[in-house]
Amino acid sequence: MTTLPEILDRFNQNASAAKFRGRAVWDFHRQEQTRDTHALDVKMAAARGVKKLYGIGLHAIRQNASLKATTFLQQRAFRVNGALRQQPFDSSAEKPQFPGASAEFIDHLEFIQPNVISGIPVYRVMDRQGQIINPSEDPKLSKEMVLNFYQKMTLLNTMDRILYESQRQGRISFYMTNYGEEGTHIGSAAALEPTDLVFGQYREAGVLMYRGFPLDLFMAQCYANADDLGKGRQMPVHYGCKDLNFVTISSPLATQLPQAAGAAYAVKRENSNRVVVCYFGEGAASEGDAHAGFNFSATLECPLIFFCRNNGYAISTPTNEQYRGDGIAARGPGYGLMSIRVDGNDVFAVYNATKEARRRAVAENQPFLIEAMTYRIGHHSTSDDSSAYRSVDEVNYWDKQDHPISRLRHYMTARDWWGEDEEKAWRKQSRKLVMEAFERAERRLKPNPELLFTDVYDEMIPPIAKQRDAMWRHIQQYKEHYPLDLYEK
C-alpha cells in the first residue's frame, strides 16, 4: 500500500507532476494506478531528480525508504536550518514561488477531504489468534526473548491486580492499571537500547518493568515508603529511575512531548547513538504541548520516537469526542514526521516498528511517530468506574478476543515453547513474587519528614530552612496529633 509520504513524493517530483496535477492529495480512495508499480517508478524518478530539487522537495524525497541512507545523510548535512531549505527564487518559472510551500498550481476549486473511513492502515504481524500472517515480518526472536516478553507482560498484569486491590483496601491511595496495553510497553521497550531516554505519561509501567525495575521499587513508589526513589513526594504510579533512563512521570499531560524534543536535541549533539522515546495517549495528543513537541522535533531534526497509545478512551471521553481526523498518525505528515500506525496488541508489530524507527531516527536525526492502536481494558484509575460510560460487552471483547498476552501465548504454544504446566507454574511464581514484594512494602516505614523540605532547589535555602525548623518545633509541641510512628526518624 502506498504511504502518504510516497504520495507527497509524487507532488514534489518534476518528472511525475503532470500526471497528478489536479488530483486531491489526500483522497486515498481514488488511486487508480497500481500502487506498487507506480511507487517504484516514483522512486527511480526521485533518485534521478534529486540533484535538481531543493527545499521541501528534498524533504519529501528523503522520506522515501528505498533510497540509500548515505545519500540522505549527505543531503542532510547541508540542510541544517532555515534559509537553505527554501527553494531558490526563480521569477521566470511557472511553478509557485512562495517560500511557505512547495507545490504545483491547480486551476479548479477542490477541497481536500479528510479521510477517516479508510485512513492510515494498521500494521500487524500476528492475527488475533497469534498466527504469523506474513512470515517475512516475523522478527524471529529467540525463545528466551519471547518468553521474557510473556513473563514481563504477565508479571505486570499480576502486579496491577494486586495493587489495584490494595487501593480498594485502603492500603495505597491511588493506582492505574495497564490492562490491555502490555503489548505496547513490552514490544517498544524491547526494541530500544537501555541507554535510550524514556519520557512517559503514566501508563507505561511495562517499559520500566522490561528494563529491570524491581517489584520492590514499584511498590515503594506506590506506598511512598522510605525505599521510594522519589522520596515519597508523588502519587502512586509516578515512577522514575535515573539508572534505567526513565524520566520521572508527572501528572500534567503532554508536557513531556516538547521536553522529549529538547532531550533528543541534546542527545543528538552528544553524538552518542541514543534515541529518546516519548509515550503519550491519544487524549494527551490534543494538548497544545503535543503540537509543540511534534513541530519542534521536526524543525529541529531530533532523534526521537513519539509513541502514542491510542486506547480508545481518555477517562470517559471516547476518541470520536477527542478528534475528528484519522487518529494521531495522520497528524504526523502534517508536521513533517515519518508516521505509522500499528496494532498495539501485537507485540511483534510494536517491536518491528519501534526497532526500525529507532534505527532511522538515530541514523537520520529525524523524529518518528508510531500510533499503537490498543484498548484500555481497565478503568482509567481507581477513581474511575468505566461501566458508567461503556458496555461490559465491549470490554469483554478486548479482554477475551484481542489481548496482547493471549496472542503471544498462542504464538508460544504453537511452537511448543509454553504449555499448561509452564503457565500454572509461572502464575504461581509471579503471584508469589508480587505478594512478597507487597508484604515488604507494607511493613516499611515512610520517609523522614525532613524530605518534605529538600530538593526544592539544589541546595537548602534560608527561608525553607526556617520553615522546616518551625515545622519541627510545632510537631514537637503537638506530637500526639501527627502520625510520627509511621515515618522514619
Partner 1 sequence: LLLILIASISRATNPPLTFTGTEIEEQVFIADTHCMNVSAGPTQKMNLFQSVTSALDNTLAGDPTAVIFGEDVAFGGVFRCTVGLRDKYGKDRVFNTPLCEQGIVGFGIGAAAAGATAIAEIQFADYIYPAFDQIVNEAAKYRYRSGNMFDCGKLTIRAPWGCVGHGSIYHSQCPEAFFTHCPGIKIVVPRGPVQAKGLLLSCIADQNPCIFFEPKILYRAAVEQVPTEAYQIPLSQAEVLQEGSDLTLVAWGTQVHVLKEVAAMAQEKLGVSCELIDLRTILPWDTETVCKSVVKTGRLLISHEAPVTGGFAAEISSTVQEECFLNLEAPISRVCGYDTPFPHIFEPFYIPDKWKCFEAVKRMINY
Choose the catalytic residue: 110, 173, 193, 251.
251
Spot the catalytic one: 16, 166, 381, 430. 381
Closer residue to partner 1 (CB): 39 or 263: 263
Between the alpha carbon of residue 103 and those of residues 5, 97, 335, the distances in Å are 14, 9, 16
- Please state the closest distance from residue 459 (CB atom) to partner 1, in A: 8
Which residues are within 8 A (CB) of 36 and not within 5 positions of it... i.e. 6 or more apart?
none
Annotated active-site residue in 104, 137, 165, 488: 165
Considering the complex, what minimum distance in angstroms separates the CB of residue 174 from partner 1?
Answer: 15
Which string of DSSP letters, residue by residue, matches 391-441?
Answer: -HHHHHHHHHHS-HHHHHHHHHHHTTS--HHHHHHHHHHHHHHHHHHHHHH
* Helical ranges in 231-381 per DSSP H: 256-270, 288-299, 319-322, 332-335, 347-364
In whole angstroms, the minimum distance from the beta carbon of 227 to partner 1 comes to 11
Among 30, 51, 269, 400, binds partner 1 (CB under 8 A): 269
Displacement of CA 22 from its chain's centroid (Å)? 37
Per CB under 8 A, the segment of 57-65, 154-162, 291-299, 413-421 that binds partner 1 is: 291-299
What's the closest the beta carbon of residue 100 comes to partner 1, in angstroms? 13
Q: Does 296 bind partner 1 (CB under 8 A)?
A: yes
Residue 258 interacts with partner 1 (CB under 8 A): yes or no: yes
The whole-angstrom separation of Cα 117 and Cα 115 is 6
Q: Binding to partner 1 by residue 275, rule CB under 8 A?
A: no
In the chain, % helix, strand, coil (3-state, to 5) comes to 50, 10, 40
- C-beta of residue 67 within 8 angstroms of C-beta of residue 61: yes
Element housing 206 (H / E): helix 205-211
Query: In this chain, which stretch among 163-171, 290-298, 309-317, 421-429 interacts with partner 1, using CB under 8 A?
Result: 290-298
Determine the Cα–Cα distance for residues 312 and 328; give it in Å rounded to an integer.
Answer: 12
Among the listed ranges 13-21, 27-35, 98-106, 287-295, the one in contact with partner 1 (CB under 8 A) is: 287-295
Q: Are the C-beta atoms of residues 308 and 231 closer than 8 Å to each other? A: no
CB of 51 to partner 1, least distance (A): 23
Residue 381 annotated in active site: yes
| Among the residue ranges 36-44, 122-130, 293-301, 408-416, the one whose residues contact partner 1 (CB under 8 A) | 293-301
Q: Does 238 bind partner 1 (CB under 8 A)?
A: yes
Q: Indicate the residue among 164 and 265 with the shorter CB distance to partner 1.
A: 265
Give the Cα separation of 254 and 308 in Å (integer): 11
266 lies in the site for partner 1, by CB under 8 A: yes
Among 151, 299, 319, 448, binds partner 1 (CB under 8 A): 299
Those residues whose C-beta lies under 8 Å from the C-beta of residue 287, and which sit 6 or more positions away, are: 253, 254, 257
Using CB under 8 A as the binding rule, whether residue 223 contacts partner 1 is answered as: no
If the CB atoms of residues 1 and 461 are measured against partner 1, the closer one turns out to be 461
CB of 281 to partner 1, least distance (A): 18
Based on CB atoms, which residue is closest to partner 1, 163 or 304?
304
Residue 452 beta carbon to partner 1: minimum distance, rounded to whole angstroms? 10
Least distance to partner 1, CB of residue 325, Å: 20
Q: Which is nearer to partner 1, 130 or 293 (CB)?
A: 293
Please say whether the beta carbons of 342 and 371 come within 8 A: yes
Task: Give catalytic status of residue 108 as yes or no.
Answer: no
Tell me, yes or no, if 380 is annotated catalytic: yes
Establish if 233 lies at the interface with partner 1 (CB under 8 A).
yes
Binding mask 75-94 for partner 1 (x = CB under 8 A): -----xxx------------
Other residues' Cβ atoms within 10 Å of the Cβ of residue 135: 8
- Piece of the chain touching partner 1 by CB under 8 A; list 342-350, 396-404, 423-431, 452-460: 452-460
CA 73 to chain CA centroid, nearest Å: 26
Cell of 192: 530500544
Number of residues interacting with partner 1: please give it, by CB under 8 A. Answer: 52
DSSP-derived secondary structure for 350-394: HHHHHHHHHHHHHHHT--EEEEEE----S-SSTT--GGGTS-HHH
Smallest gap from residue 296 Cβ to partner 1 (A): 5
Kindly state the greatest CA–CA separation across the chain. Answer: 87
Q: Beta strands of 32-146 (E only): which ranges?
A: 122-123
Identity of the residue, 221 or 386, whose beta carbon is nearer to partner 1 in the bound complex: 221
Angle at 179 between CA 239 and CA 446, to 5 degrees: 30
User: What whole-number distance in Å separates Cα of residue 286 and Cα of residue 292?
Assistant: 11
286 binds partner 1 (CB under 8 A): no
Position 51 contacts partner 1 (CB under 8 A):
no
Note whether 150 binds partner 1 by CB under 8 A.
no
Burial class of residue 202 (count of CB atoms within 10 Å of its CB; 0-12, 13-18, 19+)? buried
Residues in contact with partner 1 by the rule CB under 8 A: 80-82, 197, 199, 228-231, 233-234, 238, 240-242, 247-248, 250, 252, 255, 257-267, 269-270, 276, 288-289, 291-293, 295-296, 299-300, 454-458, 461-464
The residues carrying an active-site annotation are 165, 251, 380-381
